[in-house]
Amino acid sequence: MCSLWGPGPLTLLQGSWHGSRQQRLYLFHPSLPTVLLELSNSTEPIVAFEGLLFERSRHACYVLLAGPQVGSSPGRVVLSKRKLKEDIFSSHVIWLNQMPQDTDQNVRDYFHRMRFRTFG
């Protein structure tokens, strides 16, 4: 599984692209190549992100460092830990092709059933 973050969705308005400054967290798994799972997260801009594994094969989480972007004025910094399996249930399924091949709930259930392990 791959985790990544980036800006939220863009919309084309009067010939130019517009989008929110809020960043989103996404999960991708090669066994579902037409799906991104968008996780709900804080409204603060993400500065750093790390996925971790606690209790071997049981508890996957991610740690977010949110706060002012580089080059902006100083502000509040928040460090938070989120449980991956809890956030999967409230996630938004994004289909990368035109025709969904399953229901959104089945995709969430598939991600929720995954077991996690470290390599190395």
CB 80 within 8 A of CB 60: no
CA distances from 57 to 89, 115, 119 (A): 19, 6, 11
| H or E element that contains 94 | strand 92-95
pTM: 0.69
- Residue 30 resides in a domain: yes
Domain tally, the chain: 1
pLDDT over 50 (residue 12): no
Owner of token pair 């949110």: 66
- Residue 15 resides in a domain: no
Q: What is the pLDDT of residues 85-117, one digit of tens each?
A: 888 888 999 898 877 778 999 999 998 888 776
- The mean per-residue pLDDT over the stretch 49-59 comes to 72
The whole domain housing 102 covers 24-43+60-69+76-113
